[in-house]
Amino acid sequence: MLQSADPKGVLPGEHYLDGDWACAEGALAAGCRFVSGYPITPSTEVVERFSRRIPTVGGVFIQMEDEIASSICLQGAVWAGRKAMTVTSGPGFSLMMEHLGLAVMTEAPCVFVNVQRGGPSTGLPTQPGQADVMQARWGSHGDYEIIAVCPSSPQEAFDLTLLAFNLSEEYRVPAIVLLDECVGHMFEKVVIPKAEDIQVFARRYTQQAKDDYKPYKVEYDGWIPGMVKAGDGYNFHITGLTHDERGYPAMNTQTQEVLVHRLVDKIRLNADKIARYEEIQIEDAEVVVIAYGITSRVAHAAVASARAQGVKVGLLRPLVIWPFPETRVRELAQRVKGFLVVELNYGQIFYEVERVVAGRARVNLLGHGGGTVHEPEVVLDEIMRVVRA
């Protein structure tokens, strides 16, 4: 179901963009033609860019009255046939959690962008943080799985936003782009390919006859129902309640088991296929640093300094942070001495690494409450502490 990007939505060539603008361009290249949002630092530039660009390609941006309205109206756009996105930061992301769960339950493919800042509450609006990664995974209630990507540069803000849209369509699941303030406001060169070189995952519509259509009958890959859009003559019912193949509420444990099992397994059983990560000097590493987003850039500098001193250390950088690349971390735990998790919080992905390593190697945390990034020298000192342990 891959196709070339719509050339109207692509600005090919080399650009000097910040991460927020690059994120908007990635969405446009992916075919996003509807964005709803409410201004909030440090994410507002994403929708500002989108609002200026969207009239040129055919689409809609709506500034809603708040984040709750923003996160529900994009789901209406999905059922009207649009690829859709909403954009926010920490406090707004908290308000959107109910509708993240609704998008999971109704299998509405869409993208939530969260440009993270220091918290909790209103916290540090103009400063970086990475304390929303567990909220991205577990913030809504009930059993579910989502996909979340974590760029570390404006280039990756473009690339991974495009990937988030593609994965959301492939698995009919909401996907989250977890930027941070530093990456969002950092200007760097961004190379946007020509439209014919950009692969976009097209929405998979139903092959059922209109008279026989069941909105949640599995049609693709053993997991995924085919979609329809309003106005095409199909009758369909969409609800956040436990529902059967017809989309009608079915309030019994048997239907719940079948439905939720499928919602979970379509991601869990494809986790290794979905996983994306970068490895730097892992081959002979005795210590592995795990970092993501802006923190991975600082960690990379520290790893280079440690290598210059003869220390066998490498960097594992998740690009897709949910589902977590646990197969690779488990493999590394069989042979390395220890892991150092560096993140702008006081322990979130650290606990995921601990869970996966399961005592087979040492796991240290170098946490930071946000507002600033780690100093490379501090990361280097912690690497040496793990090596000496």
The CATH number linked to 320 is 3.40.50.920
Q: Is the pLDDT of residue 272 over 90?
A: yes
Domain range for 163 is 2-201
- 323: amino acid identity, one letter: P
For residue 1, the model assigns a pLDDT of 78
Instruction: Give 273-327 pLDDT, tens digit per residue.
Output: 999 999 999 999 999 999 999 999 999 999 999 999 999 999 999 999 999 999 9
H or E stretch covering 363: strand 362-367
Neighbours of 242 (CB within 10 A): 18
For residue 389, the model assigns a pLDDT of 81
Instruction: Give 327-371 pLDDT, tens digit per residue.
Output: 999 999 999 999 999 999 999 999 999 999 999 999 999 999 999
Do 53 and 143 lie in one domain? The reply is yes
- Out of 249, 271, 293, a domain closes at 271
pLDDT-above-90 percentage for the chain = 98
DSSP three-state, residue 108: coil
- Out of 271, 300, 320, a domain closes at 271
Neighbours of 211 (CB within 10 A): 7
Neighbours of 221 (CB within 10 A): 11
How many alpha carbons fall within 13 Å on the CB side of residue 123?
26
- Out of 219, 246, 271, a domain closes at 271
Do 124 and 8 lie in one domain? The reply is yes
For residue 324, the model assigns a pLDDT of 98
Instruction: Give 210-264 pLDDT, tens digit per residue.
Output: 999 999 999 999 999 999 999 999 998 899 999 999 999 999 999 999 999 999 9
Do 235 and 342 lie in one domain? The reply is no
Q: Can you give the CATH number for the domain in which 88 is found?
A: 3.40.50.970
| DSSP secondary structure code for residue 346 in this structure | S
| 197 contacts: CB under 8 Å, gap ≥ 6 | 4
Instruction: Give 101-129 pLDDT, tens digit per residue.
Output: 999 999 999 999 999 999 999 999 999 99
Q: What is the pTM assigned to this prediction?
A: 0.97
